[in-house]
Structure 1
Amino acid sequence: MTARTTGADQAATRSPGAGARRRIPLVLCAAIAWLVFVVAHRVLSGRVWWWQVPELVPPLALAAVPVVLLVATLAARRARRAAAAVALASLALGGGASGLNPAALWHDAAPAPADAITVFSWNTWYWDQPVGRQMPPPTGTPAGDVAAFYRYLHAQDADVLLLQEYVYFGADSRPIRVNDLDRLRREFPGFHIAAASEMVTLSRFPIVLQRGLDPPPDGGRDTPVPPGSDWPGFYTVKTLRTDLRVGSGTVSFYNSHISSPVDPSAGGLDLFSLGRTQHAARQADLRALAADVEANPLPAVLAGDFNASPAMGILRLVPGRMADATPALRSLYPATWDDGWPWWRIDWAYTTPEVTVHEYRLVRSNGLSDHSGQRLVLSLSR
């Protein structure tokens, strides 16, 4: 007796295998989703304000995620080649913004000449305001804290110091002016000092020009100064330019602290404060800087806290004359934000072609700041 097989039975027999063949493998779905994110990031980052939350991803993820996906394809039964191809495409598109510094493996800097210039750039984290930071500066600041602050500065043995956050902050997140110039003159006798907004520059070389760069009225800012502020320059001037007489020539040093993507009145990392106003302020800061650099025929050095990781497209606005000094770093993954896990680099250094970088290293602040310092040894092309 022969059993009869109905069409329904045949469909039931075929359906598990057929359905499995029709389903897209999970690893391919993940690879496609990540590639879509990377493409969107390349297109939108730095251009639209509402992409600021995705920009906070640790930059290393742009290289690490595709690598993890490539490893996962080894265990895939189907669509292995397609998943690998998609993962490689996302690595090619996003790897350059991952913060990795492969040049550390082969870069060989030229020895510094005897007349080389040592530059130290550092975000001081509200100057010497004690730990806790979100408080008015007390009248009796512990002497040990201030002494440690100045010992750290002296230890850099720098010819030029580019210091940011020359400011205190009150409990209401209101910036408070610092007047520490007399102390700086005592601590650094013979140095020349320039200050603007919350940047201060100290130099062994004579200062022949100094000015804060204030974005023009059409610079794109959208009401950056809080109503009633008695210090509008704090919000608008985010770069201090000083031209220094070095030997028989003049070199421009740009000391920058680009506005944070987070509204400073939030008092911390508040994702709801990543708004259009801060994005416009950051663009205006960098456009003012770029306009000045492009009109400046002098050799130039630019360093400071840009509040921008390698993953943030706003770095496209860095002046075109400037070359990133990162290849001279010895670190494969340099990170400068010391607050918490060291996944982000937000401090940068750039030079024009007339300036040679012989040495570049990051100096941990040992708790004095939430930023590492940047120490460079430079010389002028002859």
Structure 2
Amino acid sequence: MTDTRVVTATAGPEPVRRSRWWSWPLLSAPVAWLVFVVLHRVLSGRVWWWQVPELVPPLAFAVLPVLLLAVALPARRARGWIAAVTLASLVLGAGLSGLNPAALWHRAPPAPPGAITVFSWNTLYWDMVVGGETMPPPTGTPARDIDDFYRYLHDQKADVYLLQEYVYFGPDSKAIRVDDLARLRREFPGYHIATASELVTVSRFPIALQQGLDLRPWVSERRDAILPPDPGLPDFSAVKTLRTDVRVGGGSGNGGNGEKIVSFYNTHINSPVHAFPKGMDPRRLNRTQYERRQANLRALAADVERNPHPVVLAGDFNASPAMGILRLLPDRLVDATPVLGSLYPTSWDDRWPLWRIDWAFTTPDVTVHRYGLVWSEGLSDHSGQHLVISTSG
């Protein structure tokens, strides 16, 4: 007789589910980026110590959320909320990215007869590196010839030139006044010239008013620290915008004489990065630079708000699309960016374009018919801004 044994199987303990090692950073990265975007929206342009985060490339606000979502796709259980978080950061940051979707649909009206051509350009210390000039050129700047410099200006065929960095710099980083008026008059016969600080405006139209906007009423009690005296160019620190009112023909005009006044503001907002000390020194991003930038924009905004004439404002703002300090511009100014034909316009560095820091704005009674960023042909680290405008009313 054979014994039969019945063996009853019992369930063993369930295996412990272990999350993969990469799940935590995968899930936390989208949240961290959303927090950064929110903080940037709140703090950029409002507190001086946020200047370092402001240097993030603008395109990151559009590209990084997409990359985070793509990398997070393997996390199936959390995919829904990761998508929600990345979408929120994309929506909040899209306006900071420098993308110009209006280029896909915006069509400016054709320019009428008598339209005005404007060219704005940061010249990179004028003709500082020409020939036997004793002052050293800025680091990395290719040598250029003064004839090429003026040929480039003539090629723009502008009625009004708004030119920045009409200045030299010595080895001690001190500004040195430029006097190239005789050559300018030879190159542009019949044009009218206005200068202030490091700015020069050359106009085919008669100049009714020229005025450098003084920053000093808009700075804090630390005025001497913010605007140090500079014997080589006394107004270099205090004047960063040149207003030039010109008389242009056509329209009902002022005084019934067929002319009207148009105000051109030629501006160079202070950089957030101080030129001295050199190298990766945190002192280059400091409160003083921030207060200079604020004072510059406040002086500009106050003058524009009081100005009853049509306004064209263009220049080097030293502000990327991600920098909130541009909110200090008056609300009545209209950004000309939609007229640009580029989805991602860049103006700096002209040799290796990264982002845009050169801008153009107008009041609503000025129509921008054409707007383009013009390569500097190696003459500067900034692209030029070429506009065709007309005024109404």
CA distance in 2, matches of 1:131, 1:307: 25
Q: Deviations over 1:299-326 (max 9, x none)?
A: 0000000000000000001122110000
Partner of 1:265: 276
CA distance in 2, matches of 1:162, 1:268: 31
CA distance in 1, matches of 2:116, 2:344: 26
Q: In the TM superposition, what is the alpha-carbon distance from 1:227 to its structure 2 partner?
A: 5.4
CA distance in 1, matches of 2:197, 2:152: 23
Partner of 1:300: 311
- Tell me: CA distance 1:228–1:297, structure 2 relative to 1, closer, same or farther (3 Å): closer
CA distance in 1, matches of 2:329, 2:191: 29
Partner of 1:54: 53
User: Which residues in structure 2 correspond to 1:228-239 (within 5 Å)?
Assistant: 229-239=231-241
- Tell me: CA distance 1:74–1:343, structure 2 relative to 1, closer, same or farther (3 Å): same
User: Which residues in structure 2 correspond to 1:152-171 (within 5 Å)?
Assistant: 152-171=152-171
Amino acid at match of 1:20: S
CA distance in 1, matches of 2:271, 2:144: 30
Q: Deviations over 1:172-228 (max 9, x none)?
A: 211110000010000000000000000000000000000000024343364223356
- Runs (5+) with no aligned partner, structure 2: 1-6, 250-258
Q: 1:359 aligns with which of 349, 370, 384?
A: 370
Partner of 2:33: 34
Contact 2:336 2:371 in 1 (8 A): yes
Secondary structure at the aligned position of 2:276 is classed as helix
Amino acid at match of 1:27: L
Q: Deviations over 1:84-110 (max 9, x none)?
A: 000000000011110000000011110
> Structure 1-normalised TM-score?
0.91
Contact 2:130 2:146 in 1 (8 A): no
User: Which residues in structure 2 correspond to 1:190-269 (within 5 Å)?
Assistant: 190-220=190-220, 222=223, 223-226=225-228, 229-247=231-249, 248-266=259-277
Counting matched residue pairs gives 371
Contact 1:225 1:235 in 2 (8 A): yes
Amino acid at match of 2:244: T
Secondary structure at the aligned position of 1:362 is classed as strand
CA distance in 2, matches of 1:107, 1:257: 28
Q: In the TM superposition, what is the alpha-carbon distance from 1:339 to its structure 2 partner?
A: 4.9
Secondary structure at the aligned position of 1:217 is classed as helix
CA distance in 1, matches of 2:296, 2:63: 32
- Tell me: CA distance 1:225–1:136, structure 2 relative to 1, closer, same or farther (3 Å): farther
Q: In the TM superposition, what is the alpha-carbon distance from 1:231 to its structure 2 partner?
A: 2.6
Q: In the TM superposition, what is the alpha-carbon distance from 1:130 to its structure 2 partner?
A: 1.3
Q: In the TM superposition, what is the alpha-carbon distance from 1:268 to its structure 2 partner?
A: 6.7
Q: Deviations over 1:253-311 (max 9, x none)?
A: 00000011112333577543100000000000000000000011110000000000000
Contact 2:229 2:237 in 1 (8 A): no
Moved more, 69-78 or 234-243: 69-78
Amino acid at match of 2:214: D
Q: In the TM superposition, what is the alpha-carbon distance from 1:3 to its structure 2 partner?
A: 8.3
- Tell me: CA distance 1:297–1:61, structure 2 relative to 1, closer, same or farther (3 Å): same
- Tell me: CA distance 1:66–1:342, structure 2 relative to 1, closer, same or farther (3 Å): same
CA distance in 2, matches of 1:131, 1:87: 51
Partner of 1:86: 85
CA distance in 2, matches of 1:175, 1:267: 16
Amino acid at match of 1:311: A
Contact 1:27 1:83 in 2 (8 A): no
Higher helix share: 1
Contact 1:224 1:236 in 2 (8 A): no
Contact 1:173 1:266 in 2 (8 A): no
Partner of 1:278: 289
CA distance in 2, matches of 1:108, 1:270: 45
Contact 1:357 1:379 in 2 (8 A): yes
CA distance in 2, matches of 1:288, 1:373: 24
Q: In the TM superposition, what is the alpha-carbon distance from 1:27 to its structure 2 partner?
A: 3.1
Amino acid at match of 1:166: Y
- Tell me: CA distance 1:307–1:270, structure 2 relative to 1, closer, same or farther (3 Å): farther
Amino acid at match of 1:265: F
Partner of 1:75: 74
Amino acid at match of 1:196: A
> Structure 2-normalised TM-score?
0.88
CA distance in 1, matches of 2:383, 2:282: 24
Q: Deviations over 1:133-170 (max 9, x none)?
A: x97179xxx99700000000000000000000000111
Contact 2:212 2:240 in 1 (8 A): yes
Root-mean-square deviation (CA, aligned residues, Å) is: 2.5
Secondary structure at the aligned position of 1:338 is classed as coil
CA distance in 2, matches of 1:145, 1:21: 62
Amino acid at match of 2:293: R
Contact 2:120 2:385 in 1 (8 A): yes
CA distance in 1, matches of 2:135, 2:92: 46
Secondary structure at the aligned position of 1:95 is classed as helix
Identity of aligned residues (%): 67
Q: Deviations over 1:25-63 (max 9, x none)?
A: 543311101101100110111111111111111100000
Secondary structure at the aligned position of 1:69 is classed as helix
Secondary structure at the aligned position of 1:163 is classed as strand
- Tell me: CA distance 1:218–1:253, structure 2 relative to 1, closer, same or farther (3 Å): closer
